């Protein structure tokens, strides 16, 4: 038994992944029902995975987040995880472009018993974020929406997170394309995700890293 000096970044062992899910039990009956209902209602199968949801809740708790923003609600799965993290004395603003998705999310928040401290905003986040700035500075911003908007969402987070607050962003691996030569030239979403990653890593406002989930979860702590 040993550990190699050149450790891989993440792992693709499905048996190990199953062990983690079995041991840490990230998805309870409420979250499982939200996932199933979202699919039944015809929402795209792009919600965060069970372990990803657990990461969101635990990280929110770890930084003592009480004021949080989520950009990209979908069916409410990740929002419930974040709302559990901030707790009933906290506040989560979550933004969803599609009214039909938002209605499914409202049901999810009610089912999970977190609707009392979740404010759901329907419409383009880039146009509506200014409406919640009065509640900042925020402790946490989670980005999981249109990939082309990631750089502008990061710029907003830079200005409206407290020092010590965190920004999180799903799909940071650009669906496995982020590192491929020429991918950014062919795909504007990859280009935007590259710009996002470069600014997060070297823009000077965050100390950042990547959590090697299946989709890549970017994490930055605001340092100035």
pLDDT tens per residue across all 224 residues of the chain:
666 667 677 878 899 999 999 999 999 999 999 999 999 999 999 999 999 999 999 999 999 999 999 999 999 999 999 999 999 999 999 999 999 999 999 999 999 999 999 999 999 999 999 999 999 999 999 999 999 999 999 999 999 999 999 999 999 999 999 999 999 999 999 999 999 999 999 999 999 999 999 999 999 999 99
Pairwise CA distance, residues 102 & 118, whole Å: 12
Find out whether 21 and 51 touch, Cβ atoms under 8 Å: yes
Residue 82's pLDDT is 99
Residue 3 has a pLDDT of: 61
Asked if residues 143 and 153 have their Cβ atoms less than 8 Å apart, the reply is: yes
CATH number of 14-222: 3.40.50.150
Q: Whole-angstrom Cα distance, residue 70 to residue 79?
A: 7
- Collect all residues with Cβ–Cβ distance below 8 Å to 55 and sequence separation of at least 6: 211, 213, 217
């Amino acid at each position: 038994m040993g550990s190699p000096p050149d450790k891989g970044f993440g792992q693709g062992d499905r048996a190990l992944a199953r062990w983690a899910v079995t041991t840490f039990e990230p998805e309870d009956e409420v979250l499982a029902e939200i996932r199933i209902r979202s699919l039944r209602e015809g929402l795209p199968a792009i919600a965060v995975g069970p372990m990803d949801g657990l990461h969101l809740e635990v990280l929110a708790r770890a930084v003592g987040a009480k004021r949080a923003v989520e950009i990209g609600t979908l069916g409410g799965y990740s929002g419930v995880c974040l709302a559990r993290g901030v707790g009933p004395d906290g506040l989560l603003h979550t933004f969803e472009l599609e009214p039909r998705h938002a209605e499914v999310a409202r049901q999810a928040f009610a089912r999970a018993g977190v609707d009392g401290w979740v404010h759901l905003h329907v419409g383009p986040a880039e146009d509506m974020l200014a409406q919640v700035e009065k509640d900042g500075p925020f402790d946490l911003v989670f980005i999981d929406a249109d990939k082309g908007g990631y750089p502008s969402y990061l710029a907003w987070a830079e200005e409206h997170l407290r020092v010590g607050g965190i920004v999180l962003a799903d799909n940071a691996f650009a669906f496995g394309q982020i590192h491929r030569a020429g991918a950014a030239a062919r795909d504007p979403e990859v280009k935007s995700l590259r710009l996002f990653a470069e600014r997060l890593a070297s823009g000077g406002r965050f100390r950042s890293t990547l959590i090697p989930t299946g989709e890549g979860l970017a994490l930055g702590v605001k340092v100035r």
